[in-house]
Amino acid sequence: MDSLAIELNQTLKNTIADVFLSDYGRRMYFPVYGIVEQSAQAGKDAKLYNATTGMAVHNRKPIMVPFIRKQFTELSEAQIVSYANSYGEAELRTLWKSEIYRKNPTLGKALISLPVVVPGLTGGISQAASLFIGEGEKVVCSDLYWENYDMIVDGMRNAELAHFPFYTPDGKFNIDAFCRCIVENASDKRVTVILNFPNNPTGYTLLKKEAEDMKNRILDLACSGYKMNFIIDDAYFGLFYEEDVYSESLFSLFADLHENVMAIKIDGATKEHFVWGFRIGFVTYASKGLNEDHLKALEMKTAGSIRASVSNCSKTAQSILIAALKDGEYESDRKSYDEILEARYRKVKESIEAYKGTRLKALPFNSGYFMCFEVDGNAEKLRQKLLKEFAIGTISVKDKYLRVAFSAVDLDGIEELYAKIFKAAESL
């Protein structure tokens, strides 16, 4: 094992992070004396010639083919095509950290790490899984979840998802089943949990009372000796449509809750800023038991894993986001699109309430991009019928549920969309 990895492991010794580090996580380090660090030093001091980084330059600017250059008007060549840091651009990391505090006032002055830039939310979950989920471990997750968790947890890490029923019979979040699943799947009172709100595929976010209940129940478990690592998938964060919804990340509840609780926030610009193809996400760490040195060690391990896998993330996308987050009018412009999605949500609610059939039951939803029907019959057959006979694309989940992304349909098409879904279901 590299001496730098050993040093980082020593820094994290006897912390909650040390409890959860996988073998891969223990081996990870950031090569502070490698090419990246030497190039960074040269960027500051090599005023005559900088012959460090594997980029081509012309007239002291990164080479950029004229056709590509014409597609950009506001950014410099260096902002568009040069390499980014493996940690992510420092300015963007600082701006995003400020955004986390702004959007999650419950955090207060809780200590959190500087976010590390990852290649999208998928990349963030993948990095967190690699660093903190060992082979053969059980990972607690609801039975309604994003299917890529299977690829990441089962496929990549050779671990196993342990499911609990998402809803109670009366359509609330099943906190009892959730806590029971934690206890039943903890090994030596140690367990990792993946939480995703707004949930994909259901479009459900915890209500304020449910979030408070979860916090108190997790605190009770932590006080009784359970060590829990929460990977919090905030892919659709911010898209909340009802007053009684908990409109902060669960990260804000867990970040300073107890020394036996670690929180890893996975978020990004992908959905929050409607830039899906930018592939810019963030990984942020917190725990009541972690100090600045611990958090820095976790940042270094994460950056090392980025360096070893994808090297760094898109410089262009990061440069554009930096400019956007510093622009005075950007946030109001962005929020106007949140309002467009909320209007579609309201229309979906109206359409469902008008439905008098028996084949579809809408699962509770209040946020995000999606809603789900529980199908009386085979959801895959309904999906095929909608596609072939009505030219409508939907997603079947476990042959039992039909996911509809109302985010992808304009407001004036919502009523027709649902009328045809209902018609197809009744004709099955």
pLDDT digits (tens, 9 = 90+) for 91-135: 999 999 999 999 999 999 999 999 999 999 999 999 999 999 999
Domain(s) of CATH 3.90.1150.10: residues in the chain = 332-426
Helix axes 175-185, 208-223, angle to 10 degrees: 30
* CB count in 10 Å sphere of residue 166: 20
- pTM > 0.85: yes or no: yes
pLDDT digits (tens, 9 = 90+) for 314-358: 999 999 999 999 988 888 888 888 999 999 999 999 999 999 889
- Would you say 289 and 14 are in contact if contact means Cβ atoms under 8 Å apart? no
Assigned architecture for domain 332-426: Alpha-Beta Complex (3.90)
What is the location of CATH 3.40.640.10 in the chain?
3-30+86-326
Tokens of 67: 């056709």
294-309 tens-digit pLDDT: 999 999 999 999 999 9
Residue 372: predicted pLDDT: 96
pLDDT, residue 72, reads 84
Instruction: Report the residue count for the chain.
Output: 428
Instruction: Map residue 61 onto helix, strand or coil.
Output: strand
- Closest by CA position to 22, among listed 45, 34, 39, 5: 5
Q: Structure tokens of 85?
A: 């840091």
Q: Any idea which architecture 3-30+86-326 has in CATH?
A: 3-Layer(aba) Sandwich (3.40)
Average pLDDT per run of 10 along the chain, which is 428 residues long?
A: 91 95 92 70 70 66 72 86 91 97 96 97 96 97 95 94 97 97 97 97 97 98 98 96 97 98 96 89 97 97 95 93 90 89 95 92 96 95 93 93 93 94 94
What pLDDT sits at residue 99? 97
- Please tell me the predicted confidence (pLDDT) of residue 204: 98
- In eight-state DSSP terms, residue 250 is T
